[in-house]
A and B are shown apart, each in its own frame.
Chain A
Amino acid sequence: MTLEAKNLCFTYPCGRSVLQNLSLRVEGGERVGIFAPSGRGKTTLCKLLAGYEKPQSGQVLLDGKSLASYRGYCPVQLIWQHPEQVVDPRLTLGKTLREAGEPEERLVQALGIQPEWLSRYPAELSGGELQRFCIARALGPATRFVLADELSAMLDLATQAQLWSFLVEETTRRGIGLVAVSHSAPLLDRVCTRRIEL
């Protein structure tokens, strides 16, 4: 499959323009790193590519079809920078994990999710622990592209290494395209097959 951005333009409601005529093409199984300093619209680009925001002009295509025309489970899944914002504080993490359908046991184990975490609430776990749930949830069977927006910025080095090597292995095995966003160039060089600067 191919995820394609064509001439994306995006302006914040306050009038500041962040993306101008941006085009990008990612093939399934490819790992693309997007590198830019803060404030260049990395997160905005991720939200556009995953369909959370609509560009003022240009379009996002998945296999030549507009991403907005896909109903139900979106094949492009975004892993957010702040996991605590995207898990419902009123649900146990077991329920949060099952939002994307019954999770694969293999995924849960590879991400180091402990069985006792499943009955806890998000306030009782750390950011790194929550991020594992978000990664597992984003890797449902119908996922074709994963966007990782600074997914490891607040984690310690050992956890970062563990999560990235898991993601590389999993996306390669399933032929999933990965778009990794970071302001750390060495990290992207290690993880990705090619790198783009915004």
Chain B
Amino acid sequence: MKRILNNLRQPRTAALIRLVFAAAILLAVMIAGMACREQALATDFTRKNLAPCAEYLFGTDWMGRDMLTRTLSGLSLSIRIGVVTAAVSAVVALAAGVSAALLGRWADSALTWLIDLFMGIPHILLLVLISCACGRGFWGVTIGIVAIHWMSLARLIRGEVMQLRQSGYVQVARKLGASPAAIAVRHILPGVLPQFFTGLVLLFPHAILHEASVTFLGFGLTSEQPAVGVILSESMQYLATGRWWLALLPGICLVAVVLLFELAGKSLAALWSVNAEQEAA
């Protein structure tokens, strides 16, 4: 028993538990939301405008749709979009950052210029434009979010690789005859992976919130999809008449999902870092 308790106090174990906890809830929400999509769309005018009660925990809306299933399937869609966009933009960022730092001065100038260009345009404007140009819906939102999220991580990774390239152990590895590819795999990529994973997971909340915002503004997912952005924008008309549950409960759930992703990201970074134990001690 004592050994188990001691083990739990180890920073690595604690980080692993937090990671599994966050990932399990997110996965459960994603699957539950996909399973109850049908119910989320079902209308029943005999039960409309019910406040939260034992039978309908999140209440029902003006068309008698169950808000709990609508919220779940909206969050599920958000999580799926978040996973796809964060993963793709993090990979784009890793490729851009590493090649800027390793391919020489010309590639570096070109990529830095591109990063500055994308950062110079207001994000939400670019997202609306790209989403509309790609025909809105799932793919419009996904492509738009990827396009506006890779730059800051790319810049971070470029700086990190530049620094690692100057480090003593990389210089020595070159003198020991290691090829550039071997140095990149053995010394440089493992060095940027903690930043990569922290960056990747910190992209989730951004991606999910941007998805909700662009949908809320009416340029993202279409209104027949039970997305959180759709739920929030539709409920605006009913807030004034006192139906607070329509916006509040889905809003809180969205924030909870964002926080869970952040928890998962930090635990992952802690697990990866060699010095996690010394830092936590």
Contact = CB atoms under 8 A, between A and B. Distances in A.
Interface in B180-198: 186-187, 190-191
Interface in A60-94: 72-74, 77-78, 80, 82, 85-91
Interface centre among B171, B176, B186, B275 (most CB of A within 10 A): B176
Main secondary structure on chain B at its contact with chain A? Answer: helix
A185 interface: no
Interface string B260-281: 0000000000000011001000
A110 interface: no
Interface string A116-138: 00000101000000000000010
Main secondary structure on chain A at its contact with chain B? Answer: loop
B271 to A, nearest CB: 14
Contact of A77 (B175, B178, B275): B175
Contact of B175 (A50, A85, A88, A91): A50
A73 B274 contact: no
Interface residues of A, number: 23
Contacts, number: 49
A89 B186 CA distance: 12
Contacts of A28: none
B186 A52 contact: no
A74 B275 contact: no
A140 interface: yes
A87 B176 CA distance: 13
Interface of B: 167-169, 171-173, 175-178, 186-187, 190-191, 274-275, 278
